[in-house]
Amino acid sequence: MMAAGSTENVPAALRENSAVPRYKGDAREEARLLRKVVAMCGRLAALTSQDVDLAGVVGVLSEGVGAEVALLDRTLEVLAWAGGSDPAGVLGKLRDNAGPSGPYTVLAAAARNRRALTVPVLTGAEESIIVAPISVGTDVAGHLLVVGGRDHDLTEDTRLLVTEHAAVVCGVVLGRDLVVAAAAGRARQELFEGLLQPRDREDGEVDRWARHLGFDPNRPYHVLAVALVRDQPVSALAAVETLLARLAHGAIVAGRPGEVVGIVPVKAAGAAGTAEARALAATCASRIAERRIGVAAVGVGNPCHTASGIARSYAEASRALAATLRNGESGGVTAFADLGIHRLLLRVPDVGDLREFAEEVLGVLIEEEESTGMDYLATLSVYFHENASPRRAAQRLHVHPNTVSYRIRRIEEITCLSFDVHRDRLMAEVAVEILVGLGRV
């Protein structure tokens, strides 16, 4: 391949290609190819004035360049394909030839330069891979992948030219769809927001809103609240919204400021349904990380069987999400059903109040631990979780039961608390749970 123009910020394995076609042969052959390219570009341009979808554009491009074509969104999901029976194979060929940096680097280079790129093919002399970004306004909404076509009579440069033109047409179609979807989306968003607002009684209007959005009162649902741990552009949350909607078939999903909320149907009721929702949340967080969208924190609310219960489940999911976010930048999944006493602690609006209470009860123990290096807080937490059994606590801590008993006596001496007294034991347990929630233990 010949490079044209600046290649700054493009991976070494890629070369930016000029959109000016170069031909070999006589003038008549050159004129024939030019007429063919003009006809193809004209056919693609005509699609913008017709009621055509993305599959129609991809089909015209595949036929024109004699290659497999796939259109990917920003999360690498295939939206349309043509020229082959396996759309995943198109993306697979890009992965096989993208080198150690992977397909994300290739796509990022194309998006950064707003130009089509040819990826050097490691195997298969009769194939080539073209990546073209699809722009909608100032955003890159997806990519066109074109695999093969070297045995076609078009030159590599003309395939690049036609692919870039098709990407522009795809951007027009996507932009048009977005305008139509925006009007419907605003109405849908208002209905969705109405479902999340708490109500003191059953409301027939809410039932109608929920049914309009696809809520089935004969199935149990859980609300999932998904946030990205670190600040990300709006497009990242949009990618999360798309991903969650695809993972949870039949879910009602919408983006909100700083989060994505999904009203997700499950197959089973009770604990089995909660486990299913928790597994879905974990899969979502894992996919978000795999696709380099960000680090996700997910909260899972308790089940709801009616439209009026959605607001309660959302409030629970929000508290569970808050618990996950308090754990720092590692993200993860928290179900409201697993919070225990933290259900109450999360209702305290000021974390400083919780920290102050914990330090009043166990502050001297914290200072002693810092000065001696003894694991007093961890021992106390395990001791309470094992129902004050030194033997079981010792097994979890991998120490002798006498060591646990000694540490508990020292803790009582240091804090002036007696764990035989209900009030003292309750205060210590609550203080430990606060410190666990704050990441201190």
Q: How far apart are CA 397 and CA 399, in angstroms?
A: 6
Beta bridge partners, 15, equal 118
Question: Does the domain at residues 15-178 carry the CATH identifier 3.30.450.40?
Answer: yes
List, in order, residues 6 or more apart from 346 with CB less than 8 Å away: 319, 322, 323, 339
| Overall fold of domain 351-437 | Arc Repressor Mutant, subunit A (1.10.10)
3-state secondary structure of 22: coil
- Looking at residue 73, its pLDDT comes to 85
Portion of the chain with pLDDT greater than 90, in percent: 29
- Looking at residue 87, its pLDDT comes to 75
Which residue matches tokens 């803790």? Answer: 411
- Angle value at C-alpha 400, between 395 and 404, nearest 5 degrees: 85
| Tens digits of residue pLDDT in 361-419 | 999 999 999 888 888 999 999 999 899 999 999 999 999 999 999 999 999 999 999 99
Is the CB of residue 158 less than 8 Å from the CB of residue 128? no
The pTM of this model reads: 0.50
- Looking at residue 9, its pLDDT comes to 46
Q: Where are the domains of the chain?
A: 15-178, 197-345, 351-437
Of residues 11 and 342, more confidently modeled = 342
List, in order, residues 6 or more apart from 386 with CB less than 8 Å away: 392, 393, 396
- Looking at residue 7, its pLDDT comes to 39
| Tens digits of residue pLDDT in 39-90 | 888 888 888 777 778 888 888 888 888 888 889 887 788 888 888 777 777 7
Q: Is the dihedral of CA 298, 301, 306, 308 positive or negative?
A: negative
Kindly give the pairing relationship between strand 332-335 and strand 296-300. Answer: parallel
Q: How far apart are CA 116 and CA 144, in angstroms?
A: 9
Alpha helices in 26-145 (DSSP H): 27-47, 54-65, 87-97, 103-113
The second-level CATH assignment, the architecture, of 197-345 is: 2-Layer Sandwich (3.30)
Task: Evaluate whether 15-178 and 197-345 have a shared fold.
Answer: no
Give yes or no for residue 124 having a pLDDT over 60: no
Give yes or no for residue 245 having a pLDDT over 60: yes
Give yes or no for residue 235 having a pLDDT over 70: yes
Which DSSP state fits 205? H
Q: How far apart are CA 162 and CA 351, in angstroms?
A: 58
